[in-house]
Amino acid sequence: MKLSLRDTTGCPTPLGVTSIGSWINFALFSRNADTVTLVIESDTAQHTTETAEFLLDPRSNKTGDIWHIQLSGLPPLIRYGYRLSGPWEPTTSGHGFDDSRILIDPYARELSAPDWGDDRSCLGIKCCSLIPETSYDWGGDRPLKTTLQDSIIYELHVRGFTRHPSSQSSCPGTFKGIIERIPYLQELGITAVELMPVTEFDENDAHFHNPDTGKKLKNYWGYNPLSFFAPKTSYAHNRAHPLDEFRDMVKMLHRAGIEVILDCVYNHTAEGGWDGPTTSFRGIDNTIYYLLDPWIREYLNFSGCGNTCNCNHPIVRSLIMDALRWWVAEMHVDGFRFDLASILGRDQQGRVLSNPPMVEIIAEDPLLADTKIIAEAWDAAGLYQVGSFSPHPRWAEWNGRFRDDVRSFMAGKPGMVPALATRISGSSDLYQHNGKRPYNSINFITSHDGFTLADLVSYNNKHNLTNGENNRDGDNTNLSWNTGEEGETRDPDILRMRSRRIRTMAVILFLSQGVPMFVAGDEFRRSQQGNNNAWCQDNPTSWLDWNLAAENRGQLRFFKKLIQLRRQHTLFRRTDFFTGDNSQIIWQGLKPGSQDWSFKSHVLAFTLLSHQPEKHNKTTGTAFFIMFNGHRQQTARFTLPAPPFSGQTLVWKKIIDTSCTPPQDFVSADQAQPFNGDDTMDIAPMACAVLQAHPQGDNQ
């Protein structure tokens, strides 16, 4: 049975589907197709499918490179897609047309996709693009506009955050599941969640099997997009309304004071190389959307995933910008982290541009002016641009140097004291030369990619055998130290040292200049059993076990209080770099006035001062003295400097000591032990202590 519809010529703009009165306009770009056919499907009450196909006439249904048509009489809940014919010439022209495929509209805002794990996917096989309902009651929701320097970013996986049975979620693994956990996020104190990819992907496209069980693995992380617009249907508890459920999540997070940042993948798609599936871009105009070798027409692979998007082609630039604008205007997101962002700076031959149009357009777009834009400033082909990704002041970067230098110092490696000081003070070596600020540095020690914080102190080597690649995948350079025994242990001394190292690294992360980011579960010691590339582990390896929050409540408390301390004191959130005149930061080694930057040194201390009064303290200024001991075995004896601010009688109060067991590791000022200048303090191996200046006798 066929649908009975009326059609007319239609309009070339905007791309995608648009309602015009009782008509629906369809517009698709393809420069090199010979023919374009719009396919419409609708399910009947009798559980049959009605289909209509419209072969577009290039004389009336094409303007320039845009194919278009308008239809009326469409039933509700239709699905649509496109057949395109033209040459299939992988090794000559590079075209990849195949009219046996029904392709996804690149501008589709919603897709018909199966439940998680259901391999009966229609994506790229049948019509699966949908016409979403556009109305939504935002209830007055407005952007929070949290300044970047005041942000604390919490990276999480939508499914993994509440999929574990311990979450006790009524809607596990969904946007709604995140809503249920908002009270926890508020109590933790973070200001933004950074969601790993949420646009539609096929979790069944992994080709590996668990060697122990033989079970096929999943593409759990989702860095393989089928769409730049459509939210992943299986991340919605109500599969019929994924857009509304995503919006509900954003609205409720905003009400809780928490922003939403999306991890966006514009460097490649799920179509991969010539041996990959044709679902959209390849079948619409392969030579436009992807970078191809000019001679043999193979895909240029700067992403490590088989293909690379042609980001600086005007058509692809427009697609990316339209997607970003839609996420901000229609879905109210607050920012973006760009995966392998260095690819955005390559031209159509893959060469690195000095002033990439794509990078500049994102920074200068007026609709995105209030959003956070964060680059992963490298790609899979060895291009590493941390500190040089873009001179534009709006671009922040994942600071991989911060990660590596802190890990190295906290693994006991020599020669790391100068680098640690540079990272703590905001990475001026990377960002000051081009007029940027400390908050352009997104500081992190762990992320989804690599060891968790618990594994960083428990494993020397990756343990990725269950990924099915014979332990070949994942980074071999982890800059970790297992603290004396690989993996799980019952040795109480090793367990105490591991706990101490985790808390010391947390102090470095949250009390350094720049913007701290940490991955969900690090606050309560989530482990992946040494797997440093868990992209395919849709199981308890990757899911958050919420039982650990109770089991490691002492560490969770420590994280909460650290975050609170950072948010209370602006001197940890500077907007400019230190001047070098000792008026704001004073470095020392074991003794005041004596610095030790030598290769053999493993100790660092500094006084951090703010001469501006803060609402949380009664003095005319705020000061902290912080000591780190990076020795694996030796205790370090520091001599304390005199408390600052002449004319006041101050003492040091030791509020943090990571060598102590919880809750003595972080105490309030009225419980803290007082110290004077010239007193000495022993700092245990791999420990740190934080002292705060207080008026003598003041217990507030």
Which positions are catalytic? 339, 376
| Secondary structure of residue 464 in the 3-state scheme | coil
User: d(Cα 122, Cα 370) in Å, to the nearest integer?
Assistant: 37
Tokens at 191, concatenated: 């200001």
Phi, psi torsion values for 639, nearest 5 degrees? -100, 130
- DSSP classification of residue 290: B
Burial class (CB in 10 A: 0-12, 13-18, 19+), 150: middle
Question: Given the structure tokens 């600020």, which residue do they identify?
Answer: 437
Please give the torsion angle defined by the CA atoms of residues 545, 516, 530 and 376, in that order, rounded to the nearest 10 degrees.
120
User: d(Cα 357, Cα 361) in Å, to the nearest integer?
Assistant: 6
Q: How far is CA 678 from the centre of its chain?
A: 45
Residue in 283, 239, 243, 279 with CA at minimum distance from that of residue 122:
279
Tokens at 608, concatenated: 């951090």
CB 68 within 8 A of CB 89: no
Helix axis angle for 314-329 and 281-289, nearest 10°, is 120
Residue in 319, 201, 202 with CA at minimum distance from that of residue 263:
201
Which ranges of 301-427 would DSSP assign to H, the alpha helix? Answer: 314-329, 357-364, 400-409, 417-424
For 575, what's the count of Cα atoms within 13 Å in the CB-facing half-sphere? 5
Distances in Å between the alpha carbon of 535 and those of 218, 256, 393, 593? 8, 30, 32, 48
Neighbours of 2 (CB within 10 A): 9
Strand partners, 72: 6, 23
**Exposed e or buried b for every residue in 523-543, given b needs 16+ CB within 10 A?**
bbbbbbbbbbbbbbbbbebbb
User: d(Cα 68, Cα 51) in Å, to the nearest integer?
Assistant: 19
User: d(Cα 367, Cα 538) in Å, to the nearest integer?
Assistant: 36
Q: Which residues contact 45 (CB under 8 A, 6 or more apart)?
A: none
Radius of gyration of the chain (CA): 27
Q: Which residues contact 625 (CB under 8 A, 6 or more apart)?
A: 605, 606, 607, 608, 640, 641, 652, 690, 691, 693
User: d(Cα 625, Cα 140) in Å, to the nearest integer?
Assistant: 44
CB 153 within 8 A of CB 442: yes
Neighbours of 382 (CB within 10 A): 8
Distances in Å between the alpha carbon of 489 and those of 120, 478, 495, 517, 632? 43, 20, 7, 28, 18
Strand partners, 42: 50
Residue in 441, 457, 439, 448 with CA at minimum distance from that of residue 506:
457
